[in-house]
Structure 1
Amino acid sequence: MGIAKGKLCPEVFKSKVEDILAALQLPVQVFVATGPGIYRKPVMGMWKYLCEEANDGVTVDKTQSLYVGDAAGRPENWAPGRKKKDFSCSDRLFALNIGLQFHTPEEYFLGWKSAPYSLPSFDPRKLDSTSRLSDPPSASLTSTETEVIVAVGYPAAGKSTFFHTHIIPKGYVYVNRDTLGSWQNCVSACERALKEGRSVVIDNTNPDPESRKRYVGVAKAAGVSCRCFHFTATLEQAKHNNRFREMVPSGSKHAKVNDMVFHSYKKHFVAPALSEGFSEILQIHFVPHFKDNQSETLFRQFSEG
């Protein structure tokens, strides 16, 4: 990422690599991901490029291939004299995505025994496209009565897709800070819709009671109920979803989300409660659906090391 951020000159980097290759005197191909996207580990873009474009048409035999890397998810003090934990797990996950046998440098070159390691808590391979969408399962997603629905959930937790699939087609007015610019504008839009007798959905992150009470108050003043839809995607899952949507072209335009935004939500999050004035709280689970097999294959890869 140093090249992408302008901290490292590409020519300087290439010169160092060429010096190493000259000393090795071995046939070597070098692939460098200079920024985020499908070519950055642990996503398989570089491997796919090697197999399809850069191996002179020779089929790669994965059973005769291996991957050696030091980003292996090892904890602090994983070996005597090795106090620091690995900076990530991206190398191990890259090999896991591809289906290659994996070794750390110490294991492969020095013959050390395998060290302990941890994989991410979120595994995209295990998400079930047929699992239940909401809890309690008996609750209705929409109402025949005018109401306000307030979303709570990480960026990239699936809120917008859910609302545009299940709620907006039923005539609800869609209110979102990314498009309106401020929470004040969101409150005004909510008030206008209720005066017209229309139900409203508030598609913001709304992590704490302070951000949610604005809409509870508007609903109360209008004499309508206010429900909360809590999107249950974890931080790890939301970050994976975010990276996926950055890699896949879509007709939907999402605001760019960085780690600071994710961790700000986590810092301020307070679980929604009925005592805030909600008539009902639904838990909305992330259930993936894909437009094609290529998108699903990409989503099922580990993308965060």
Structure 2
Amino acid sequence: MECVILIGIQASGKSTFYKERYVDTHLRLNMDMLKTRHREKLLLNALLEAKQPFVVDNTNPLPEDRMTYIEAAKRHRFSVVGCYFEPDYAESIRRNAQRTGKSFVREIGIRSVLNKLVRPSIGEGFDELYTVTSAGGTFTLEKTADV
């Protein structure tokens, strides 16, 4: 049983990463789809009770944001993996410009998350933690050591 928490600014590739690596094995917990914290909590509890592997595909910029998922997953004996998307503001702005409709994020929103983004640490409760970078459409993971 595994909980994967994606961490990064909007348009950093988190959802694409989920689709490439986890769509066949893990369900996706995502505020863009669920719209409310109440719905998110209901689905999170169902995933935990069912022992269903899942990916939290939100920005999760602060340790407090991540702690909700980490604590719940640990209580249900899930391993917790963090994937930190190294911020590339210019690339995220470029990717975001290709979005349309509700998936488009105003630049001020991306900048706001970037300004409060805190690099995660193993000490938060992760069993494994990776830094994710992308170049040319390919994701690279590097296991991070706690600093």
Structure index of larger Rg = 1
Q: Answer yes or no: is 1:209 the counterpart of 2:57.
A: no
Structure with bigger strand share is 2
- How far apart, in 1, do the equivalents of 2:136 and 2:13 lie? 9
Asked if 1:162 is matched to 2:13, the reply is no
For 2:47, the aligned partner's letter is A
State yes or no: 1:180 paired with 2:34.
Answer: yes
Q: Where do 5+ consecutive residues of structure 2 fail to align?
A: 138-147
Structure 1 counterpart SS, 2:5: strand
Following superposition, the deviation at residue 254 of structure 1 comes to 5.5
Q: How many residues align?
A: 138
- Aligned runs of 1:1-305 on 2, under 5 Å? 146-169=1-24, 171-246=25-100, 255-289=103-137
Residues 87, 114 of structure 2: 8 Å contact kept: no
Alpha-carbon shift at residue 280 of structure 1 (Å): 1.0
1:213–1:197 Cα change, 3 Å: same
Identical aligned residues as a percent? 26
- Quote the Cα distance in structure 1 between the aligned partners of 2:37 and 2:64: 12
Name the TM-score, length of structure 2 as normaliser: 0.85
Q: How big is the shift at 1:184?
A: 4.0
Structure 1 unaligned regions, length at least 5: 1-145, 247-252, 290-305
Structure with the greater relative contact order (CA < 8 A, sep ≥ 6): 1 or 2?
2
Distance 1:182 1:270 in 2: 24
For the aligned residue pairs, the C-alpha RMSD in angstroms reads 1.8
